[in-house]
Amino acid sequence: DVKVTQSSRYLVKRTGEKVFLECVQDMDHENMFWYRQDPGLGLRLIYFSYDVKMKEKGDIPEGYSVSREKKERFSLILESASTNQTSMYLCASSTNPPGTLGGYTFGSGTRLTVV
């Protein structure tokens, strides 16, 4: 069964900490995405990547950065965590172009709380 795996289900971090959220996919997908999900706002795109070492800003990139050193791994970095970054973070991957194998595949999410 194909998978997108996020390393942590729950994280609690302090304001100002540097936070790393890891995502690994085993489907050899070209595209990987990071979303955050907040009540009433749905899923919003933070960053995405079409290939190794490339990245593109999504709709809400402020306060975040990403790293894609290997095709299967896409990391989201909170340079200095703030309380307004408390959220559910979802990683996804897709083929290029999407539309085969059910489109996008999501991980189970990481619920981050910044205190």
Partner 1 sequence: GESVGLHLPTLSVQEGDNSIINCAYSNSASDYFIWYKQESGKGPQFIIDIRSNMDKRQGQRVTVLLNKTVKHLSLQIAATQPGDSAVYFCAEVSNDYKLSFGAGTTVTVRA
List interacting residues with partner 1 (CB under 8 A): 4, 31, 33, 40-43, 45, 48, 50, 58, 90, 92, 94, 96-99, 102-109
Q: How far is the CB of 31 from partner 1 (least distance, A)?
A: 6
DSSP state, 85? G
DSSP state, 44? E
Q: How far is the CB of 29 from partner 1 (least distance, A)?
A: 11
Give CA–CA dist 52/30, Å, rounded: 8
Cβ nearer to partner 1, comparing 4 with 21: 4
What is the chain's length? Answer: 115
Beta-sheet pairing, 10-13 with 110-114: parallel
Q: How far is the CB of 13 from partner 1 (least distance, A)?
A: 20
Cβ nearer to partner 1, comparing 58 with 63: 58
Task: Yes or no: say if 90 and 35 are a contact pair by the CB < 8 Å rule.
Answer: yes
